[in-house]
Amino acid sequence: MLEAWAEVIEETSEQLEKNLSLLRIDSIIFQAGQVLSQHQTDRKAAQEALVEYFESVVLETGNVDQLASELTVSM
């Protein structure tokens, strides 16, 4: 299990080109879930809210659009 989390940290930090701790990643994921729960029936609004949130935590703009799209694909 620890190996899997180490891989998540390594891959996420590499893709975002910044070092993130496990607690930071967990916080971002939790807050993204909160954003999604506020927009359960409106995929476009959820995507826009996720992009706004991700940009507020200083994630790269190019990455946030794709991430928001992937997180709302089943809505």
pLDDT for position 62: 67
Map out the domains of the chain as residue ranges: 2-71
pLDDT for position 61: 63
Instruction: Kindly state the tokens that stand for 48.
Output: 């826009």
pLDDT for position 60: 65
What does the DSSP assignment read for 24-46?
Answer: HHHHHHHHHHHHHHHTTT-HHHH
Q: What's the rounded Cα separation, in Å, for the pair 74 and 12?
A: 22
Over the chain (75 residues), the average pLDDT of each successive run of 10 is 83 76 85 92 92 81 76 78
pLDDT for position 20: 77
Say what the pTM is. 0.71
pLDDT for position 7: 86
Q: What's the rounded Cα separation, in Å, for the pair 27 and 22?
A: 9
Q: Which of 29, 22, 24 is nearest to 3 (CA)?
A: 22
